[in-house]
Amino acid sequence: MSGKSLGANLEIREGNWAALGPEASEIRRVVFIEEQRVPLEEEWDGRDPECRHFLALLDGREVGTARLLPDAHIGRVAVLSEARGAGVGAALMRAAIDAARRLGHPQVELAAQTHALDFYSRLGFEAYGPEFLDAGILHRNMRLTLPCR
């Protein structure tokens, strides 16, 4: 597990599910299962052990999470409501994108909830394909090509 400090009060930790799973699980439970009413069986897909995970701490409190799958899909991006608007989601995304680049992926992809399309567009992602329902929520696929170093 590694940690990267972003400013005085925002830190992003990167690690495996064993290291970050308990905190990430709680954030995802609150955001996806409680707030968005995603069914348990859809949220807990069994893929977490194979992913890189990212945990955002704001003033030392766990407030956000994301994961990077082995195929360079970013998913399960969640920020607790009280921390939204503080740059937590963007910091999580930058950490996941940087990890994908380090791992040699030429691009990253994600399925964005349609209300978040502008957020991901500001990070350089481009939407493609039609809208679709996932867990009863409208989504659209997006991708970001990673520049070669």
Q: Which conformational region is residue 16 in: left (phi greater than 0), alpha (psi within -120 to 50 degrees), or beta? A: beta
> What average pLDDT score do residues 73-89 get?
95
Long-range interactions of 43-48: CB distance < 8 A, separation 24+: 43/135, 48/17, 48/21, 48/24
- Supply 104's token pair: 């040699």
- Supply 39's token pair: 């069914």
> What average pLDDT score do residues 74-87 get?
95
Q: How far out from the chain centre does Cα 41 lie? A: 19
> What average pLDDT score do residues 86-92 get?
96
User: Which pLDDT score, from 0 to 100, does residue 41 have?
Assistant: 87
Q: Which residues lie closer than 8 Å to 16 by C-beta, 6 or more apart?
A: 1, 49, 52, 53
User: Which pLDDT score, from 0 to 100, does residue 8 have?
Assistant: 53
Long-range interactions of 58-61: CB distance < 8 A, separation 24+: 58/9, 58/10, 58/83, 58/86, 58/88, 59/9
pLDDT band at 2 (very low <50, low <70, confident <90, very high): low
Q: What percent of the chain has pLDDT over 90?
A: 88
- Supply 141's token pair: 């696929």
User: Which pLDDT score, from 0 to 100, does residue 147 have?
Assistant: 82
pLDDT digits (tens, 9 = 90+) for 94-105: 999 999 999 999
Instruction: Report pTM.
Output: 0.91
Q: Which of 69 and 40 is assigned the larger pLDDT?
A: 69
pLDDT band at 5 (very low <50, low <70, confident <90, very high): very low
Across the chain, what does the average pLDDT equal?
93
Output the CA torsion sign for 105, 16, 133, 118: negative
**What whole-number distance in Å separates Cα of residue 52 and Cα of residue 15?**
6
